[in-house]
Amino acid sequence: MAAVFDLDLETEEGSEGEGEPELSSADVCPLAELRAAGLEPVGHYEEVELTETSVNPGPERIGPHCFELLRVLGKGGYGKVFQVRKVQGTNLGKIYAMKVLRKAKIVCNAKDTAHTRAERNILESVKHPFIVELAYAFQTGGKLYLILECLSGGELFTHLEREGIFLEDTACFYLSEITLALGHLHSQGIIYRDLKPENIMLNSQGHIKLTDFGLCKESIHEGAVTHTFCGTIEYMAPEILVRSGHNRAVDWWSLGALIPLPSALVLQFLKRNPSQRIGGGPGDAAEVQRHPFFRHINWDDLLARRMDPPFRPCLQSEEDVSQFDSHFTRQTPVDSPDDTALSESANQAFLGFTYVAPSVLDSIKEGFSFQPKLRSPRRLNSSPRTPISPLKFSPFEGFRPSPGPPEPMEPPLPPLLPAPPPPPPSSTAPLPIRPPSGTKKSKRGRGRPGR
């Protein structure tokens, strides 16, 4: 899926009496500047207009070979999470988190397969300041790869463990950002179902990001319920435990269980009846936002991330992993080979998994530029309107001209003698540099190289 740009440099053939097509000043900006300065380009030249038809970016060919493993950040039942650096293609040198999942473990359970597909689809479709961003998704024969933004601030759980308990204003800030993230998911018909400190990460500025969407459920709008038993027991709503059917209200129960301090808000989140729970009605997140606990929050400023977080991670570099558990970061980062052969029907479950974020494609377009260049008269010996073969260009490879006879090259100049010693003081001009004795100066000039 390499991003290949097709530059159509072919000009139309025509008689010498035909006029040139009219071009706007924007089309011929370099030539217009030359002519305004009273200069004319020498020899044959080409004028190329860059449009969607002449520049056609394709998706980037992405795979494990494009990333260098730096550290292990975490480990789960289905795979690992690595800190990686992009070493090929666009965004060269950028740091990401790479989540690796083993297909063989996932396909054993239909629900796990459905959850994995849901996670990838949700990460593609949901864009929000407080939800982790997906840059790429791809697969090999035995593994699935999700390339996510690297959240170097670590888990909120780590900071909560260090502090023991958050002060009310600190807790209010984090709960407010989580509320906006949950509200956005619910507006898209998605329930999160696994809200816990380990799944709430901080970016380098200290803002929260929800991660791990493996237990999400899609298409749960007003009035719809689902019955899957899933989540983490300590944060699981009663209706999930008794399997009576649940909806988006389960996320507000989990948020109440998350609050590490007693308050009237906690009691309203922890109502056993989902319809009586704050946020459990049609108002959803808007009802939570109106609670007096959040009276000092300017929601517009919060969403725009104009409010300063209570804690800003102290990081030495983009690769700093000091905010992660050293039990993992000390491990040697190895993406072990997986030669597991899946059946054709099993592989069908992962069709369409590959993804490249629109922001990455935009950066490919913005990073490409083409400058018209003057051609030497010897480039073409026929009419200046002789068509030129189109070239294929990839930002990750050099120009590759179409097959054809080699272009004539200028012969190399004969070697010169080293500079002579400095002249005596009485000399008024430097001695000329002479060619080696016994050799004749080439008279071929600009002709073809000798056969």
According to DSSP, residue 131 is labeled B
For the chain, the structural domain boundaries read 155-314
- Cα Rg, the chain, nearest whole Å: 32
How far is residue 344 from each of residues 32, 115, 120, 348, measured CA to CA in Å?
A: 59, 20, 21, 6
Residue by residue, pLDDT tens for the chain (451 residues) are 444 333 333 333 444 444 444 444 444 455 566 566 666 656 555 565 555 444 444 556 889 999 999 999 998 777 899 999 999 988 999 999 999 999 988 888 888 888 898 899 999 999 999 999 999 999 988 899 999 999 999 999 888 888 888 889 999 999 999 999 999 999 999 999 999 989 999 999 999 999 999 899 998 988 889 998 989 999 999 999 999 999 999 999 999 999 887 788 999 999 999 999 999 999 999 999 999 999 999 999 999 999 999 999 999 999 999 999 999 999 999 988 876 778 787 888 888 888 888 877 666 555 544 444 444 444 434 444 434 333 333 334 433 444 444 444 444 444 444 555 555 554 444 444 454 455 444 444 444 444 4
Q: Which residues are annotated as a binding site?
A: 99
Q: Which of 6, 112, 169, 194 is catalytic?
A: 194
Going by CATH, does the domain composed of 155-314 fall within 1.10.510.10?
yes
What's the token pair of residue 423? 């002249």
Our CA angle for 361, 364, 365, nearest 5°, is 95
Write out the E strands in 178-230: 200-202, 208-210
The predicted model scores a pTM of: 0.67
Active site residue 194: yes
Our CA angle for 414, 417, 421, nearest 5°, is 160
Q: φ, ψ for residue 258 (rounded to 5)?
A: -75, -30
Q: Which residues are annotated as a binding site for ATP?
A: 99
Q: 42: how many CB neighbours lie within 10 A of its CB? A: 10
